[in-house]
């Protein structure tokens, strides 16, 4: 079985066509996607780059968060997995994979729009893993709305609280516990640079995550805590079919990238590992674009 180190043509490495419309109720389950996304279950090989690390990953049940959690475990980290209760079946599968890698998995279901819960994830990590030195904020809410007049205040607020507020709450809670050498990896998007007209609230949060992360990076660097960002392009995850994209957009999803296809979650994982590991020790406040070649500033 090939892994991330196997020499191959990136154009043909994964599914090249668009996707059939397959709407799901939010938040969506990876187990119901067709074709099944690759989170690295059989294709990510660890090399000990995060041995002994203690990680908190939000959105860890599916998509990019799942890929990051699997990669972190195979690189040697114990992992607290946060997700929504409706995603329990996916999360249990991730926990099994983490444990198969010989690492500890802690299930931490709950809604990040609840400030008290979001903050409690840090205490859970410290208690269950004996400390915390890696935070990967991956969870996100994305719902397309074609007209600004149809974007409700409720949805706008929920997107902000899920994508931006929770990042602030978790980082603020974590910083007093993070020893020098710790890393924070936040998740933006191509939408932070090239916003789609039907993703006003989502794109706004992703631009905000870039700005917040770059400000935090400067503030925390003297403490030996590095903050960086991964900005994915179109990636095949439940987020897309659970209202993230219109159904009629799915046949063309990812086709406009220079590689001509959507990315797979496992293709994001090496970026999260690199930015979390000591080999990126001089990388601070960077935005690592993993988007199939879409130009960014």
Give the number of other Cβ atoms within 10 Å of residue 180's Cβ. 10
Checking phi first, is residue 273 left (phi over 0); if not, alpha (psi -120 to 50) or beta?
A: alpha
What residues have CB less than 8 Å from 127, skipping those under 6 apart?
Answer: none
Distance of CA 232 to the CA centre of its chain: 9
Structure tokens, 49: 């780059």
202 in catalytic set = yes
How are strands ordered across the β-sheet holding 226-232?
A: 105-109, 78-83, 54-57, 134-137, 183-187, 226-232, 287-290
Active site residue: 72, 83, 193, 202, which one? Answer: 202
Instruction: Report the alpha-carbon distance of residue 69 to residue 72 in Å, rounded.
Output: 5
| b/e burial code for range 42-64 (CB count within 10 A of at least 16 → b) | ebbebeebbeebbbbbbbbbbbb
Cβ–Cβ contacts within 10 Å for residue 90, how many? 25
β strands within the chain, DSSP E:
54-57, 78-83, 105-109, 134-137, 183-187, 226-232, 287-290
Dist CA 170 CA 155 (whole Å): 21
What gap in Å lies between CA 18 and CA 149, rounded to an integer? 30
Catalytic residues: 202
């Amino acid at each position: 079985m090939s892994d991330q180190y196997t020499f191959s043509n990136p154009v043909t490495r994964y599914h090249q066509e668009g996707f059939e419309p397959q709407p799901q109720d939010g938040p969506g389950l990876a187990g119901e996607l067709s074709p099944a996304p690759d989170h690295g279950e059989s294709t990510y090989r660890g090399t000990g780059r995060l041995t002994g690390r203690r990680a908190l990953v939000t959105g860890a049940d599916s998509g990019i968060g799942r890929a990051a959690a699997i990669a972190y475990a195979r690189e040697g980290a114990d992992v607290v997995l946060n997700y929504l209760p409706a995603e329990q079946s996916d999360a249990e599968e991730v926990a099994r994979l983490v444990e198969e890698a010989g690492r500890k998995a802690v299930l931490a279901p709950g809604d990040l729009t609840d400030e008290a819960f979001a903050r409690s994830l840090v205490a859970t990590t410290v208690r269950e893993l004996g400390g915390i030195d890696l935070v990967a904020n991956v969870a996100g809410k994305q719902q397309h709305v074609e007209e600004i007049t149809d974007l409700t205040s409720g949805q706008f607020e929920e997107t902000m609280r899920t994508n931006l507020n929770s990042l602030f709450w978790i980082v603020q809670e974590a910083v007093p516990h993070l020893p020098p050498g710790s890393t924070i990896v936040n998740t933006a998007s191509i939408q932070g640079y090239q916003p789609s007209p039907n993703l006003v609230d989502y794109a706004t949060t992703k631009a905000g995550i870039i700005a917040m992360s770059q400000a935090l990076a400067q503030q925390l660097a003297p403490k030996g805590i590095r903050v960086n960002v991964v900005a994915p392009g179109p990636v095949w995850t439940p987020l897309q079919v659970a209202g993230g994209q219109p159904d009629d957009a799915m046949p063309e999803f990812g086709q406009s990238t220079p590689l001509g296809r959507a990315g797979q979650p496992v293709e994001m994982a090496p970026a999260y590992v690199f930015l979390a590991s000591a080999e990126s020790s001089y990388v601070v406040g960077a935005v690592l674009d993993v988007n199939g070649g879409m130009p960014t500033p």
